[in-house]
Amino acid sequence: MVVDEFDPHALAEQDFLDEVHSFQFWFDSVEGYLSDRPYGRLETTVDEEMDDNRRERLITTLCNYSVGETAALEGAAGLVQLAPDRNSKIFMATQVADEARHLEVFLHRIRELGVADPEAEIARRAQPALVDFKGTLLELISQGDWQAGVFAQNVILETMEYTVFRLHAATADAVTKDVLAGVISDERRHAGFGENDLGRSLAIDPSGRGRLREIRADLDPMVLGVFEAALTDVGAPAEGHAQLAGEYLDTVERLGLT
């Protein structure tokens, strides 16, 4: 099936879930924007000159993105085991592959920017709040809490990543823009899964909302502050901050979690 022609509303709910949570759907989705792009970059794209200040700020941003991607990679891997049905396990496995690829392309870009040892640079530049978020996410998952894990990872982290990566792409150098374009398309799918999965489970049992609101109060500030700093570092326009907060709030509002 050609993805652009895909009409989810034409399918019954279970058929819809079978379709969109499959590796087949994943492959149909990614081949359009990942084929012929080594490390996410079109071979025809030429690297731009960049002054030291801009390069430094970009490296810091990509190091923090790498922390977020590692959190999602380890988180999604843990969620495969917790997923309540086979469709969700398959989807989470596609997400594991996506997050590993995101981490790989960001590490590759960090090296292209002149960093010999990205691991050491990430340890030096990672914002402590994001490292704390990663620890909390993995703790929720190790407790066996699927709903909280999906909320923290696929709603809080991914919704904010989706907005920040798009704002960053608008001001980025040409190669980083290429790399971000493929990542953005994946994050959209991940955030969509999170909202869809939680929307269905909260409609059946709204009692989980109170607990998710508490998790939200703990985790929102950890992630929001880091991505606000990233927006400043990449030179996003001032209204970008309002867009970040606004798009995230729209999502939690649709889930009844404000």
What's the min distance (Å) between Cβ of 69 and Fe ion? 5
Number of residues that bind Fe ion (CB under 5 A): 7
Among 109, 125, 166, 190, binds Fe ion (CB under 5 A): 190
What's the min distance (Å) between Cβ of 183 and Fe ion? 6
What's the min distance (Å) between Cβ of 150 and Fe ion? 12
187 binds Fe ion (CB under 5 A): yes
Nearer to Fe ion, 3 or 242 (CB): 3
166 binds Fe ion (CB under 5 A): no
- Binding characters for Fe ion, 45-84, by CB under 5 A (x = yes): ------------------------x--x------------
168 binds Fe ion (CB under 5 A): no
Gap between the Cα atoms of 183 and 175, Å rounded: 13
- Are the CB atoms for 257 and 209 separated by under 8 Å? yes
Please state, as a whole number, how many other Cβ atoms lie within 10 Å of the Cβ of residue 19: 16
Nearer to Fe ion, 60 or 154 (CB): 154
- Binding characters for Fe ion, 226-245, by CB under 5 A (x = yes): --------------------
Name the residue with tokens 């030429």. 46
Nearer to Fe ion, 187 or 197 (CB): 187
Residues of this chain, 82-141, that bind Fe ion according to CB under 5 A:
99, 102
Gap between the Cα atoms of 161 and 244, Å rounded: 9
What's the min distance (Å) between Cβ of 242 and Fe ion? 23
Gap between the Cα atoms of 106 and 109, Å rounded: 5
Nearer to Fe ion, 50 or 224 (CB): 224
Please identify, among the stretches 170-178, 187-195, 199-207, 234-242, the one whose residues bind Fe ion according to the rule CB under 5 A. 187-195
Q: What sign results for the dihedral spanned by CA atoms 144, 146, 147, 152?
A: positive
Nearer to Fe ion, 92 or 215 (CB): 92
The region that residue 144 occupies, defined by phi over 0 for left and psi between -120 and 50 for alpha, beta otherwise, is: left
Cα distances from 254 to residues 7, 21, 92, 148, 258, in angstroms, run: 22, 22, 23, 17, 9
Nearer to Fe ion, 69 or 173 (CB): 69
Q: Which residues bind Fe ion (CB under 5 A)?
A: 69, 72, 99, 102, 158, 187, 190
